[in-house]
Amino acid sequence: MFSHELADVYELIYESRGKDWGDEAERTGRLIRSRLPDADSLLDVACGTGAHLETFGKLFAHTEGLELARPMLDLAVRRLPAVPLHAGDMRDFDLGRTFDAVACMFTAIGYLRSLDDMRSAVRSMARHLEPGGVLVVEPWWFPERFIDGYVAGDLAQSGSRTVARVSHSTRQGRTTRMEVKFLVGDSTGIREFTEVDLLTLFTLEEYLAAFADAGCPAEFVQVAWSERGMFIGRRV
């Protein structure tokens, strides 16, 4: 998952679906400040290419990012050379400081393969919050909302490059197996690659229990910019 080939077309293909990282970050920033008006620092966990973090940096005086996938982190470093960006796993990272807010966007937490992993990640994120700090997490689908056999298709163009994406998602126990095929055409020719994403279908109750047990009780809210909603926790 998250190869160099995917990182190269990642933002283009999702922008073709209407995703607006800047708008999502602005709205998430307002959500954080509705709970903590003086929030001034933010850590973006699983920051990817830095697309959200670029806007977070305009909203908060100090921002940092954490990313496990090296191809994505390399793009974030090029985009945000002045922002501290860390290679690390959300399950067990330790940056040696705390923040007013921690965000984990675009269903990144769903890529964890077990309930223990998810609970460890929530504990790690909560541990990096100041008392009263805000943790926002965008989950993957809950089991009852997942559509088995779902197919999606997208076509994106930028300059001389055209990218097609087709995905097929199936349920395997508690896991979503999403096979994604890409066709990329440019002046050098046409190439194809496949990514297989495995995302866990954690329940609403499992998320809420993980937040509570991490000393960061949360609520689940529906938001306009994500069909999957958001969890918002406050560190005790």
Q: Are residues 104 and 212 in the same domain?
A: yes
Q: Are residues 223 and 154 in the same domain?
A: no
Q: Are residues 63 and 160 in the same domain?
A: no
* CATH number of the domain residue 160 falls in: 2.20.130.10
**DSSP letter string, 151-167:** EEEEEEEETTEEEEEEE
The structure tokens listed for 222 are 């529906």
Q: Are residues 138 and 188 in the same domain?
A: no
Its pTM stands at 0.97
Q: Are residues 101 and 166 in the same domain?
A: no
DSSP-derived secondary structure letter, 61 = S
> What confidence score (pLDDT) does residue 199 get?
98
Look up residue 78 and give its amino acid: R
The structure tokens listed for 8 are 């190269």
> What confidence score (pLDDT) does residue 175 get?
98
* CATH number of the domain residue 46 falls in: 3.40.50.150
In whole angstroms, what is the distance from residue 178 CA to residue 124 CA? 27
CA distances from 32 to 15, 42, 52, 90, 211 (A): 24, 10, 14, 20, 16
> What confidence score (pLDDT) does residue 128 get?
98
Q: Are residues 159 and 207 in the same domain?
A: no
Q: Are residues 194 and 93 in the same domain?
A: no
- CA torsion angle for 52, 58, 60, 64 (degrees, to 10)? 50
Q: Are residues 61 and 150 in the same domain?
A: no
HEC string of 65-113 equals: EEECCHHHHHHHHHHCCCCCEEECCCCCCCCCCCEEEEEECCCHHHHCC
Based on C-alpha coordinates, what's the Rg of the chain?
17
In whole angstroms, what is the distance from residue 113 CA to residue 80 CA? 30
What's the total number of domains in the chain? Answer: 2
Q: Are residues 171 and 94 in the same domain?
A: no
Q: Are residues 154 and 126 in the same domain?
A: no
- Each of the 236 residues of the chain gets a pLDDT tens digit; together they read 789 999 999 999 999 999 999 999 999 999 999 999 999 999 999 999 999 999 999 999 999 999 999 999 999 999 999 999 999 999 999 999 999 999 999 999 999 999 999 999 999 999 999 999 999 999 999 999 999 999 999 999 999 999 999 999 999 999 999 999 999 999 999 999 999 999 999 999 999 999 999 999 999 999 999 999 999 999 99
The structure tokens listed for 175 are 């896991």
> What confidence score (pLDDT) does residue 185 get?
98
CA distances from 189 to 160, 181, 193 (A): 11, 17, 14
Residue 99's closest CA among 59, 132, 144? Answer: 132
Q: Are residues 149 and 87 in the same domain?
A: no
Is the backbone of residue 158 left (phi > 0), alpha (psi -120 to 50) or beta?
beta
- Give the residue numbers spanning the domain of 166: 143-200
Q: Are residues 175 and 126 in the same domain?
A: no
Instruction: List helix spans (H) across the chain.
Output: 4-15, 21-35, 51-59, 70-79, 115-127, 204-213
